[in-house]
Amino acid sequence: MLSRSDIMKMRMNTIHTSEVHSFCVNLCSSAFYHHIRYLIIYIKYVADRLFLSV
């Protein structure tokens, strides 16, 4: 018989594997790379603004 913690662990494992799978799928798509590139540009821009204001 499964205890409550065992069920929680199983549920967490299934959630984790599905997240990893979807992340891999996103990584394979070119749109993901575009988002990362824009994100890096945006972070650099914000960092520059912060350093200038200080």
- Does the pTM of the predicted model rise above 0.85? no
Give the pLDDT of residue 20: 77
Q: How confident is the model at residue 30 (pLDDT cuts 50, 70, 90)?
A: low
The total number of structural domains in the chain stands at 1
Q: Which two tokens stand for residue 11?
A: 């549920």
- The mean pLDDT value of the chain amounts to 78
Segment 20-39 shows an average pLDDT of: 75
Q: How far apart are the first and last CA of the chain?
A: 60
Cβ neighbors of 2 (< 8 A, separation 6 or more) are 10
* Domain enclosing residue 33, as ranges: 4-53
With tokens 């199983």, the residue in question is: 10
Q: Are 26 and 32 in contact (CB under 8 A)?
A: yes
Residue type present at position 38: Y
Whether the pLDDT of residue 41 is over 80: the answer is: yes
Other residues' Cβ atoms within 10 Å of the Cβ of residue 35:
12
